Amino acid sequence: MKRLHLLGILTLCAIVAAPLILELIKADTGYILISLGSTTIETSFWFAVFAVVFGILVMRWSYILLRAILRSLGVSWAFFAEGRSRQLNARTQRGLIHYIEGNWQAAKKDLLSVAKYADQPLVHYLAAAHSAHQLGDMETCQALLSKAEEVAPENELAVLLSQAKMQLANQQCEQCLATLERARSVAPRHPVVLDLLLTVYQRVNDWAAVQALLPELKKSKAYTPEQLHSLEVDAVCAVLDTHKFNLDELKSYWQKLDKSLKQSQVLVLQYCGHLQRLGAEETAEQQLRRVLTKQWDARLVELYGRVRGGSDNEQLLVAEQWLRERPGDPDLLLALARIAMRNQLWGKARSYFESSLQLQKNPQAYAEFAALLAQLGDHQKSTELYQLGLLQLTTHQQEKK
């Protein structure tokens, strides 16, 4: 019914318009000149208009006729569309296989050839950009990343992460940080963004930034407590090594640290080493004593033997108490030898040196024991010990090679 109504309206319009069109044709027929090479075609304007309209109608009728014929044969237009879709899918799969195999040139070519026809072109452009990156074509890589962001602005994070990873691989740390800051503004707590930021900060030795990032890493729950503790220890170690603290600043920084960090043997060793260098040996001795009472560590014992407490005699008594609990500990015996020397207890020092060297050959212990014997007048034995220490040191160096 609607079609008949529309047909009636069109017929009425044609009847009304026909006299007007005839008057226009009579008034001015006009002409059109077409030149193709040496061939010239000239016709009236209105004939050309009718010819174009007639051509459009013929094409429309031909389309309807062809469609009817194909339908009678059981073939639809969807068949051709599906064929093209199969070709695009096949090329996409081939491009992805090349990508997985590392055939970057072929992957880039195949993926770009179908990207503009794909429903989700983002993957095509990102994979092609990575392929260009692997080929060292950074200009094309950047252009493809821009194209990926253009076709899928809602997936900006994926583009930024891909770009950051490529910049990091190229050691472009400053550019990578700028990209990651953009990514962080999009997804502040995304675990991959935080992990990449951590990697870049570590690579540029910005440990203060690592410390500032740690609370976010904890919230992300992407790291185990052990990994986070290790990161905190590394960060504090780096700060202690690189920052030139005076004594008050060093103590203040240490006091602000979390209790778990103050129990780290690595950090205690480093902190006490700095205290010793800054002349606060008594503070270092007290700190080492507190830690060693709870946690035994050979490196801390070695440093305990080198620092000088408020009372050499008291320090000796403390170390001898530990020896009763740990008889035969070569590191503790060496520490006792050094403390005994500071107390000018030459006999005890000699005994402790001998006991330590029987259990563990130590070039430094040989040298210190030799110096003690030389001071006591036993030059022959002192010379022998110097030779043994030199031989031990040479052996250690060869083993490292």
Looking at residue 311, its pLDDT comes to: 86
Can you give the pLDDT at residue 45? 63
> What is the arithmetic mean of pLDDT over 317-340?
92
CB 254 within 8 A of CB 284: no
Please determine, for residue 237, whether its predicted confidence score (pLDDT) is greater than 70.
yes
The model's confidence at residue 86, banded by pLDDT at 50, 70 and 90, is confident
> Among 109-118, 251-260, 295-304, which stretch is predicted with the lowest mean pLDDT?
109-118
Residue 388: predicted pLDDT: 80
pLDDT at position 61 over 60:
yes
Average pLDDT over residues 333-352: 91
- Burial grade of 32 (CB within 10 A; 0-12, 13-18, 19 or more): middle
For the chain, the first-to-last Cα distance in angstroms comes to 99
Say yes or no to pLDDT of 79 above 60.
no
**Region 297-318 average pLDDT:** 91
Please, which pLDDT band fits residue 78 given cuts at 50, 70 and 90? Answer: very low
pLDDT of residue 104: 92
b/e map 101-119, b = 16+ CB within 10 Å:
eebbebbbbbbbbbbeebe
Amino acid at 222: A
Can you give the pLDDT at residue 220? 84
Number of helices followed by number of strands (H, E) in the chain: 21, 2
Contact 177, 200 (CB under 8 A): yes
Q: Which of 57-71, 130-144, 172-186, 275-289 has the lowest mean pLDDT?
A: 57-71
Q: Are strands 39-43 and 32-36 parallel, antiparallel or unpaired?
A: antiparallel
Contact between 337 and 349 under an 8 Å Cβ cutoff? The reply is yes
What 8-state DSSP symbol labels residue 328?
T
Distance CA 164, CA 181 (A): 10
Q: 368 near 338, Cβ under 8 Å?
A: yes
Q: What is the mean pLDDT of residues 53-72?
A: 67
Distance CA 155, CA 94 (A): 24
pLDDT over threshold 90, residue 47: no
Least reliable range by pLDDT among 2-16, 313-327, 332-346: 2-16
Tell me the per-residue pLDDT of 255-276, one tens digit each, with 9 for 90 and over.
999 888 988 999 999 999 999 9
Identity of the residue numbered 235: A
pLDDT at 29 over 60: no
Tens of pLDDT along 188-203? 889 999 999 999 999 9
- Give the model's confidence band at 81: pLDDT under 50 very low, under 70 low, under 90 confident, else very high: very low
Where does the pLDDT of residue 77 fall: very low under 50, low under 70, confident under 90, or very high at 90 and above?
very low
Mean pLDDT of all residues in 95-118: 87
For the question of whether the overall pTM of this predicted structure is more than 0.75, the answer is no
Show the tokens assigned to 349. Answer: 């020092």
Query: Under DSSP, is residue 190 helix (H, G, I), strand (E, B) or coil?
Result: coil
Q: CA-CA distance, 128 to 111, in Å (whole number)?
A: 6
Residue pLDDT, tens place only, 110-155? 888 888 887 788 888 889 899 999 998 899 999 988 988 888 888 8
Q: Considering the chain, what percentage of its residues have pLDDT values greater than 90? A: 36
User: Residues 285, 309: contact at Cβ < 8 Å?
Assistant: yes
In this prediction, residue 7 carries a pLDDT of 55
| Token pair listed for 288 | 């080492």
Distances 275 to 248, 269, 282, 284, 332 between C-alpha atoms, Å: 10, 10, 9, 6, 21
Percent of the chain topping pLDDT 70: 78
Residue 221: band (very low, low, confident or very high) from pLDDT cuts 50, 70, 90: confident
Is residue 362's pLDDT more than 70?
yes
Amino acid 60: pLDDT: 73
The conformation of residue 32, written as its DSSP 8-state character, comes to E
User: Smallest Cα–Cα separation from 310: which of 278, 332, 269, 342?
Assistant: 342
